[in-house]
Amino acid sequence: MAAHCRGCGYCPVAVHNGAQCGKAAGIDNLTAEHIVYSHPSGIVHLCKLFNLKLKHNYVPTQFGFGIIIPLIKDKSGDVCNADNYRGITISPVISKVFECCLLAKFEPYLYSNNLQFGFKKKIGCGPAIFTIQQV
């Protein structure tokens, strides 16, 4: 992306790295392709908007909205049983890009406990299984 943002410098990187093309549109009917293939000035405006949100400590309520889709866990199981479903939420793409910007900006200040195994980069289930076997 050729767009450059004065201020945080993270937004173009977050848009390029964080946007997952080919995904469903959110409640705002925008997809990642709308962001990725937008004019570079659009990225600059998004970055300015994100910086204003940080400066004024404001996040729109709509960023918390999403579409919940039930997905069946076991297709050969009982499709009438609610326990056979898991929900996924399709969030607005602008809020996802904002989250990527926040993560890029604040990741150096975030840490987790060594006993946390899930949702961590470069950590598989091996260390968790080893820990459980040792107990």
Q: What is the pLDDT of residues 20-29, one digit of tens each?
A: 778 888 888 9
Phi, psi dihedral angles at 54 (to 5 degrees): -65, -40
3-class secondary-structure state, position 20: coil
Nearest to 11 by CA among 33, 36, 31, 28: 36
pLDDT at 7: 46
Given this model, what pLDDT does residue 83 score? 92
Specify the pLDDT at position 3: 43
Give the pLDDT score at 4: 43
Please report the pLDDT score of residue 1 as a whole number: 36
Beta bridge partners of 53: none
pTM (two decimals): 0.70
Using 50 as the pLDDT threshold, list the residues of the chain that sit under it: 1-7
Q: Which contiguous run of DSSP H or E holds residue 49?
A: helix 40-56
- Give the closest residue to 25 by CA, choosing from 96, 98, 73: 96
Q: What is the DSSP letter of 73?
A: S
